[in-house]
């Protein structure tokens, strides 16, 4: 059984534009802005794999 190093944190957001800076202790990265398209319901951070889900 393989261990997945990446912890995919799921976060619910209200807006399409979010930013991610890691968030876990010692596991951060430069702050990046992520924007979802209108049709997209979620977006994942290319740095840390956090998943942001839009709710309405
Ligand atoms: Zn991130």
* Between 12 and 46, residue with greater pLDDT: 46
Residues having C-beta closer than 5 Å to ion ligand 1: 20, 45, 47-48, 50
- The pTM of the full predicted model, rounded to 2 decimals, is 0.67
* CA–CA separation, 18 and 36 (whole Å): 9
Using the predicted structure, report yes or no on whether residue 3 has a pLDDT greater than 70: no
Distance 25 CA to ligand 1 centre (A): 12
Spatial contact of 33 and 19, defined as CB atoms under 8 Å apart: yes
The CATH number assigned to the domain with range 10-54 reads 2.60.260.40
Q: How does pLDDT run across 5-25, given as a tens digit for each residue?
A: 666 788 887 777 888 998 765
The residues spanned by each domain of the chain are 10-54
Report how far ligand 1's centroid is from the alpha carbon of 56 (Å): 22
Q: Is the pLDDT of residue 53 over 80?
A: yes
Cβ neighbors of 15 (< 8 A, separation 6 or more) are: 54
């Amino acid at each position: 059984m393989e261990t997945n190093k990446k912890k995919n944190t799921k976060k619910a957001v209200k807006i399409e534009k979010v930013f991610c800076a890691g968030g876990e202790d010692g596991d951060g990265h430069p702050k990046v802005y992520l924007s979802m398209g209108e049709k997209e319901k979620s977006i994942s951070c290319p740095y840390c794999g956090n998943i942001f889900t839009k709710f309405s």
